Each structure stands twice: as structure tokens, then as C-alpha cells.
Amino acid sequence: MKKVILNIKCDFDKVPNIEELMPKEFAKGEELKQQGILEHLFVNEGRTGAVLVFKNVDVEEAKKLATTFPLFDYFNIEYISVEKLY
């Protein structure tokens, strides 16, 4: 099964109005989870970023979906296409 890993770097402490944006950010993640796209969400220690695992999408679709997150403008994202072997 093909998946796309989004390795996101973001200094959340430097985002203005983070308290207002985070609930919207998590709501978007929940929406993608309910749609069967977001499989996993890991947050880095120290609030320096996150790792998301999308399933059933290619890299181009993952890039489009990433733009729908409220914090997208503050992200530096590496997209990694992977296929599960076992």
C-alpha cells in the first residue's frame, strides 16, 4: 500500500495567534482522518514540527491537501512517497 509521509518543520512558538489556529489545525486533521486520508499524526518534542502519514494519495494530492491546513504558510514540508512491504 502506497503512502505519503509529510515531514513538517515548524517553530510553533513563533507563529502569531497560535492559540487561535491550533484548534482549526486539529479540526482539519480530524476531517482528513474521518475521510480515511490521515493515518497517523506524530508531533515532535519541543514543538518543532510534526510527521503526518497520508494513505491512498500520491505526492501531488498530498501537496494539495497540505495547503488546506491553517498553519501551512508556516510549514517547511518534505514529502516522502513510501510503499509498505510488510
Per-domain residue ranges for the chain?
Answer: 2-83
pLDDT at 30: 97
Q: Which CATH code fits 2-83?
A: 3.30.70.1060
Spatial CA neighbour of 8 closest among 39, 35, 34, 44: 44
pLDDT at 6: 98
What is the C-alpha to C-alpha distance for residues 16 and 57, in angstroms, rounded to an integer?
31
Ordered per-residue pLDDT tens for the chain, 86 residues: 789 999 999 988 889 999 999 999 999 999 999 999 999 999 988 878 999 999 999 999 999 999 999 999 999 999 999 998 88
50 Cβ contact list (under 8 Å, min separation 6)? 6, 8, 10, 41, 42, 43, 44
Three-state DSSP class for residue 82: strand
70: Cα separation from own chain's centroid: 11
